[in-house]
Amino acid sequence: MAQGYFVTGTDTHVGKTWASASLMRAGVRQGFRVVGMKPVASGCEWHEGSLQNSDALCLLQQGNVALDYASVNPFAYEPAIAPNFAGIHNPASLEVIKTQYEQLASQAELVIVEGAGGWYSPLSMAFDNALLAEALAIPVILVVGIRLGCINHARLSLAAIQQSKANCCGWIAVRVEPDLPYTQENIAYLRKQLSVPLLGILPYLREPDFDKLASAFSINNHCKINEIKP
């Protein structure tokens, strides 16, 4: 059975997709069969007769198992609004997502599942990221965008994940601003305050270079992500 990880964030636009794609690239470089999944996405555009999402396409491109788009993103919505509203006439299904995840896991050794928004962001009127992660029963990785307010957001998000009784296996720091003062100090402070390991620090880049970003992570022979050294 594949090792899966559920990637959530302290908010939207904190680097979840880059972190997910970088983890996938690291796994591919390690020699694993790797797939990504973006179960629910809004803000999609029409391409060759179907709605497709740029984040989901990024994950599809970083994998090394041949898949069609719908396998990676079973619920794609055009309006760039919260999925619970965007999909009001075609709501996401927890059972469909779980079945699709199991199919992907049967073809791979490492599966990276990217949520939408933060931990409690709704994916339909019936469930949110927290309930989806619970249903998939895989470890959670928290992505923290390093910017003003990130300490509060990170501590609250981790507390929420742990209150949900999910297994948060670690966090990833993403530099989302090029010249934020006290960046290293913020990361060092969070490292002391968060009770889970720091798995990687992604530098600020204007455009993604996933080979470079993948070097932030160390994945062992059992698809476990190692804590980075202080």
The residues assigned a catalytic role are 38
Helices (H), the chain: 16-30, 54-62, 69-72, 83-86, 94-105, 129-136, 150-163, 183-193, 210-214
Residues in a beta bridge with 225: 219
Q: How far apart are CA 188 and CA 3, in angstroms?
A: 29
Encode burial over 188-208: b for 16+ CB neighbours within 10 A, e otherwise: eebeeebebebbbbbeeeeeb
Within 10 A of 72 (CB to CB), how many other CB atoms are there? 28
